[in-house]
Amino acid sequence: MLVLAIWILSFVAGMVVILVLPPDYFVRKRPAALDPRPIVRLVLLIARNLLGGLLLVVGLVMALPLVPGPGLVFVLIGMGLVDFPGKRALELRLLRQRRLLRSVNAIRARFGRQALQTTESHRQSVVDSNP
């Protein structure tokens, strides 16, 4: 029962992330800071990295054979929270996979959201273009 609840919760969290991201998120130079005060920004950065590291470790444990749970989902969420060099390039490389981008944009279109842009010149949806 707990495994099913975790799976549903992670599915809903993934959908929320896909739908909440602004269409130009991957085109912007740097996301805006959550808080202009340096101390608050540092505390939020540390908290986000600690939470991401915890989710990454939990996901790796759940990804082991015979351990129930959506380990891969937790690994991906953890990687999304942790800051490391080359993170943005890795995210873009994954998102530029035609099938993944098409799936994400199809979900966004179903809920009335604009398609994600992966390059400055890429303004139209991959869903709408011919393969």
Per-residue pLDDT of the chain (131 residues; tens, 9 = 90+): 776 777 787 778 778 888 888 888 778 776 566 667 788 888 888 998 999 888 888 888 877 777 666 677 677 778 888 888 888 888 888 888 888 888 889 989 999 999 988 875 444 444 554 44
Query: pTM of the predicted model, to two decimals?
Result: 0.61
The pLDDT value recorded for residue 126 is: 47
**Pick from 118, 113, 115: nearest CA to 127:** 115
List the structure tokens of 126: 């991959």
The pLDDT value recorded for residue 124 is: 46
Domain ranges of the chain: 1-11+36-84, 87-131
The pLDDT value recorded for residue 35 is: 64
The half-sphere exposure of 131 on its side-chain side, counting CA atoms within 13 A, is 5
The pLDDT value recorded for residue 89 is: 83
Return the HEC string of 10-74. HHHHHHHHHHHCCCCCCCCCCCCCCCCCHHHHHHHHHHHHHHHHHHHHHHHHHCCCCCCCCHHHH
Q: 73: how many CB neighbours lie within 10 A of its CB? A: 20
